[in-house]
A and B are shown apart, each in its own frame.
Chain A
Amino acid sequence: MASKLIKDYFRTDKLPHIWCPGCGHGILMRSVAQAIDNLGLDKDKVCIVSGIGCSSRAPGYMDFNTLHTTHGRALAFATGVKLARPELEVIVVTGDGDCAAIGGNHLIHAARRNINITTVVFNNNIYGMTGGQYSPTTPTNEFGTTAPYGNIDKPFDIPALAGAAGATYTARGTAYHAKQLTKLVEKGIKNKGFSLIEGISICPTYYGRKNKKGSAVDMMNWLKDNAVDIKVAEKLPKEKLEGKFLIGEFKNTTEPEYTEEYMKIIERFQKER
């Protein structure tokens, strides 16, 4: 009734999912499941946490321990889960609005603590669920229902933001480059610390329509033509990178991890008892 991957890791009775035709979120969600499968993780030892948004609906379809929380608070709940059950592999699925607007503070502080959580942002440059309001990643001069004359804000670079705040692993992939995204999510999960992987999604219904980006296929072609791998970009002259965006691994370092540091304190006092 479905491919092995889908049968093994999804609640198939909940399919088809609610996402629009051509929505990139389905591709990204599959990549996350593929990464978990490639790592051979025990399903019962994985907890997937989300906030609110189209993207945040993902855990409803994924057959793991799952937690669908409140808007912007996925990382706050995930931090609680991780501290209570450090043996769990905690993965947050969130949107650009969920993690960089209302949840922006939770994001920078989770990153600062370097807590062992892997965050996968489904970035479609818009608030999809609520009908196309601009988000912190809507490019300058583009349109949203709340930016009818064009957005005057500058967009966040979410992996750069997380990296600057202290995340030890940051990367970006896209719905078109789904195989690479799977690898990046795998590496993010393996990193012992806070990992942030941005998956550039496509929202043909709101972001696409508002900005005349064409069909889902047109938007996938745009990702194909405008994403440049960071390793390739290093060898390209600046002019060639005009209007392009980078994908690949941006940061991969090692720092003390929050739950381990926390446990050290607990152990210290337990010994003294």
Chain B
Amino acid sequence: MSKAIEKKANLQIKRDLCKGCKICVQFCPKDVLTMEGGKVKIKDIEKCIECGLCELRCPDYAIFLGGSEDEE
């Protein structure tokens, strides 16, 4: 469930922490994110410029840049 998603830009999502408020989706300047099943989902990682605005404004710390898989 809380499996980290790691792609080109090292953007990670913790679905178990996401409460589905859509703040990150709305204020992402590059339209990288979308919602699925009431939680955030990466739509197009290629467009991510790693600006960190999603991380800055996520009230639940469910989306962030950096980190690695082995922390799971």
Contacts and interface: CB of A to CB of B under 8 A. Distances in A.
Interface residues of A, number: 29
A241 interface: no
A264 to B, nearest CB: 42
A23 interface: yes
Contacts of B2: 1
Contacts of B27: 220
Nearest to B63: A3
Contacts of A17: 60
B32 to A, nearest CB: 16
Contacts of B66: 3-4
B59 A217 contact: no
A26 B61 contact: yes
Interface in B34-72: 55-61, 64-67, 71-72
Interface stretch (A36-44, A130-138, A144-152, A172-180): A172-180
B19 A2 contact: no
Interface residues of B, number: 25
Nearest to B2: A1
Given A3-B65, A178-B57, A16 B21 contact: no
Contacts, number: 75
A2 B14 CA distance: 8
A217 B21 contact: yes
B9 interface: no
Contact of B60 (A26, A175, A221): A26
B17 A220 contact: no
A176 B24 CA distance: 11
Contacts of B65: 3
A73 interface: no
Interface string A206-218: 0000000001110
B26 A220 contact: yes
A220 B56 CA distance: 13
The residue in B2, B22, B23, B56 that gathers the most chain A C-beta atoms within 10 A of its C-beta is B23
A15 interface: yes
Contacts of A6: 61, 64
B61 A21 contact: no
Contacts of B59: 19, 21-27, 175, 216
A30 interface: yes
A221 B23 CA distance: 10
Q: Which 5 A-B pairs have the closest CB atoms?
A: A26-B59, A22-B21, A3-B64, A21-B19, A217-B26
11 contacts: A2-B14, A2-B17, A3-B64, A3-B66, A4-B67, A21-B19, A23-B59, A178-B57, A204-B21, A216-B22, A220-B26
Interface of A: 1-4, 6, 10, 15-17, 19-27, 30, 175-176, 178-179, 204, 215-217, 220-221
